Amino acid sequence: MRCAIVGSGLAALASYATLRRAGVRPDEIVVFGTHRDPTAVWAERAASIRQDRMRSESDGHVAAASFPGLALREGSPRALAQTVANRYRPPVTLFLRHAEHVRARSGWDESFVERRVEHVRAVTDGFELDGEGSFRNVLLALGHPGLARIPGAVHAYEPHDYAAKVAVVGAGMAAATEWRNALAAGAEVVSIRRREPLRRPLNVPRAFFSKRGLSRFHGLAEPDRAALLEDLGRPSYPPGREWDLDVPVAEEPPPGFQVIAATGFRRGFAHDPLLRALVEEHRLRTQARWIVLASDSTVPELTDERRTLAIAGVAGQWAFPAADTIAGAKYAAHAFARRTCRTR
Ligand SMILES: Cc1cc2nc3c(=O)[nH]c(=O)nc-3n(C[C@H](O)[C@H](O)[C@H](O)COP(=O)(O)OP(=O)(O)OC[C@H]3O[C@@H](n4cnc5c(N)ncnc54)[C@H](O)[C@@H]3O)c2cc1C
């Protein structure tokens, strides 16, 4: 039995750890990825916007078991008190140190093969990944299909400094963070945005992390489900005084201003060459920019008793609205591990 994970980010590492905990050995798993260090891509983005605390809570870590969480690992009474009130945000340094530990302990490096997979082709008992033989169970954890760029602007998720005058394009969490960063660096800051920002505590409300909320979501008609996902994807940042910044709004970046694109990522499966080809060649069902998945994150047309194709990360939102979080990665990973172990 061999299974494969395509992709090498946080979702891939969380899935790998979940498979290992379910008893699958390193020599039974191949991870095809572009980065041997599964935190590399995320860590650069977080460092670029000077993120020093996680957005997620104590259990937002990549180990398979949620206990012990990061608050317990931090060990301070303050962290433990905050976690009781859902107010604990782990330091990024702690999250990364712990991820490094999970990578070392799980055997990730034994399974890792440096390779960008271009083609997933269904065969009778599994899937061929480029010319790399056949795998019965495959999890795609490809991350976002690239940054949404603006010509001439530096992207907020790429390393940058702040000039004396800064125009931040966008109205979500990254934009709000960049207003704060640039103001703290002493810059004059303007915000370039089309509409007033939404203030939401979390991109995806807590209800969608619960069994009940999820089953309501899974019961929606397809167009309603796509409309809901579209709404949840609107740029937002949390309410609260720490985010209430007095930043003037302009329609265009004024001349002489450094332009920072806090515009997030390109959206939708069609921007990812592997997913686009998969949909076209296997005639997968789609709705707007989403691939239609079963509620356990598998691709229904290509999953049966003999084989599994599942999608984790942002491209798996059809099954789990907060797919692009660590909790979302684990949702897909648990179902994948269950199926993998069943077909062993
Ligand atoms: C700045 C920032 C802060 C965030 N903070 C939090 C937080 O605090 N808590 C939380 O829960 N979530 C957070 N998120 C959301 C989420 O956890 C991240 O987006 C996370 O990186 C998603 O992991 P991923 O593995 O899906 O994608 P990525 O980390 O982007 O990894 C995907 C990897 O797969 C590789 N790959 C892609 N295509 C192929 C291919 N065809 N073949 C081989 N390899 C391929 C890519 O090169 C990349 O290495 C944050 C996101 C950002 C951007």
Per-residue pLDDT of the chain (344 residues; tens, 9 = 90+): 689 999 999 999 999 999 999 999 999 999 999 999 999 999 999 999 999 999 999 999 999 999 999 999 998 999 999 998 888 999 999 999 999 999 999 999 999 999 999 999 999 899 999 988 899 999 999 999 999 999 999 999 999 999 999 999 999 999 999 999 999 999 999 999 988 889 998 889 889 999 999 999 999 999 999 999 999 999 999 999 988 888 999 999 999 999 999 999 999 999 999 999 999 999 999 999 999 999 999 999 999 999 999 999 999 999 999 999 999 999 999 999 999 987 66
Nearest CA to ligand 1 atom 3: 46
**Distance (Å) from CA 127 to ligand 1 centroid:** 24
Atom of ligand 1 nearest to the CA of 38: 49
Mutate to test the pocket of ligand 1, among 13, 15, 34, 61 (most ligand atoms within 8 A of CB): 34
pLDDT of the residue at 1: 62
- Residue range 18-64, pLDDT digits in tens: 999 999 999 999 999 999 999 999 999 999 999 999 999 999 999 99
Whose Cα sits closest to atom 51 in ligand 1?
A: 42
Tokens matching residue 164: 């004396």
Closest approach atom of ligand 1 to CA 32: 43
What is the pLDDT, as a whole number, of residue 132? Answer: 81
C-alpha–C-alpha distance, residues 39 and 20, integer Å: 18
Token code pair at residue 89 = 């945000």
108 HSE (CA, 13 A, CB side):
28
Binding pocket residue ranges, ligand 1, CB within 6 Å: 6-12, 32-35, 41-42, 45-46, 49, 51, 54-56, 60, 116-117, 141-144, 157, 274, 313, 324-326
Pocket test for ligand 1, best of 5, 6, 10, 108 (most atoms within 8 A of CB): 10
Q: In what order do the strands lie in the sheet with 29-33?
A: 112-114, 29-33, 3-6, 137-140, 308-311
Q: How many helices (H) and strands (E) does the chain have?
A: 11, 17
Q: Which long-range contacts (CB under 8 A, 24 or more apart) does 315-318 make?
A: 315/140, 315/142, 315/269, 315/272, 315/275, 315/291, 317/229, 317/290, 318/225, 318/229, 318/287, 318/290, 318/291, 318/292, 318/293
- Chain centroid to CA 250: 31
Give the Å distance between the CA of 46 and the centre of ligand 1.
Answer: 11
Model pLDDT, residue 130:
94
Nearest-CA residue for ligand 1 atom 7 is 55
Q: Give the closest residue (by CA) to ligand 1 atom 29.
A: 9
Q: What six digits make up the tokens of 134? A: 């056949």
Distance CA 74, CA 95 (A): 10
Residue 12 Cα: closest atom of ligand 1: 25
**pLDDT on residue 160:** 98
283 bridge partner residues: none
Ligand 1 atom closest to the CA of 35, numbered from 1: 49
Nearest one of 20, 13, 65, 19 to 40, comparing CA atoms: 13
Residue 307, pLDDT score: 95
Please give the single-letter amino acid code of residue 78. Answer: R
Task: Point out the ligand 1 atom lying closest to the alpha carbon of residue 49.
Answer: 1
Distance of CA 301 from the midpoint of ligand 1 (Å): 26
User: Ligand 1, atom 31: nearest CA belongs to which residue?
Assistant: 9
CA of 150 to the centre of ligand 1 (A): 21
Residue 240 φ then ψ, to 5°: 125, 150
Name which residue sits closest to atom 20 of ligand 1, judged by CA.
10
Instruction: Go through the domains of the chain in sequence order and give each one's CATH number.
Output: 3-146+266-342 (3.50.50.60), 154-261 (no CATH)
